């Protein structure tokens, strides 16, 4: 067994402890009260993040029937374990944190209203 093979289980453990390449569903009820967390691994691609977010949502409803889809934010980490993505509850949008789109997805930014002339 090579040194790399000996370290593989340890590397897998460290990766899971650091939450690298994972989708995190912050599970909340309709009043916004935290009731749990669901974590699913993704492959590092945007499509993989969306697929993992769908899996996390399926698990969320199975494990927490009182969960609110809108109140339960979806985030995703990168290969270093940094939270960098926001995913919309309908899985149609993914945005880098710190952008207006990410703030809108997480309900922190109100879209501009149209003023009719």
Q: What are the residue ranges spanned by the domains of the chain?
A: 12-98
Q: Which residues pair with 86 in a beta bridge?
A: 75, 95
pTM for the whole structure:
0.78
- Give me the pLDDT at residue 18, please: 72
**Residue-wise pLDDT tens digits, 12-71:** 555 555 789 999 999 999 999 999 999 999 999 999 999 999 999 999 999 999 999 999
3-state secondary structure of 34: strand
Q: Which residues pair with 87 in a beta bridge?
A: 74, 94
CA angle 83, 29, 24 (to 5 degrees): 20
CB neighbour list of residue 60: distance below 8 Å, 6 or more residues apart: 25, 27, 36, 38, 67, 72
Helices (H), the chain: 3-18, 46-63, 100-105
Q: Are 74 and 21 in contact (CB under 8 A)?
A: no
**Residue-wise pLDDT tens digits, 66-90:** 999 999 999 999 999 999 999 999 9
3-state secondary structure of 76: strand
């Amino acid at each position: 067994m090579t040194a790399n093979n000996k370290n593989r289980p340890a590397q897998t453990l460290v990766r899971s402890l650091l939450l690298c390449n994972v989708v995190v569903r912050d599970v909340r009820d309709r009043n916004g009260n935290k009731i749990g967390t669901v974590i699913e691994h993704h492959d590092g691609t945007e499509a993989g993040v969306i697929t993992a977010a769908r899996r996390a949502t399926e698990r969320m409803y199975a494990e927490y029937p009182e969960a609110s889809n809108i109140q339960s934010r979806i985030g995703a980490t990168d290969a270093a374990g940094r939270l960098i993505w926001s995913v919309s509850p309908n899985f149609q949008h993914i945005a880098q944190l710190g952008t207006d789109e990410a703030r809108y997805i997480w309900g922190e930014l109100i879209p501009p209203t149209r003023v009719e002339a």
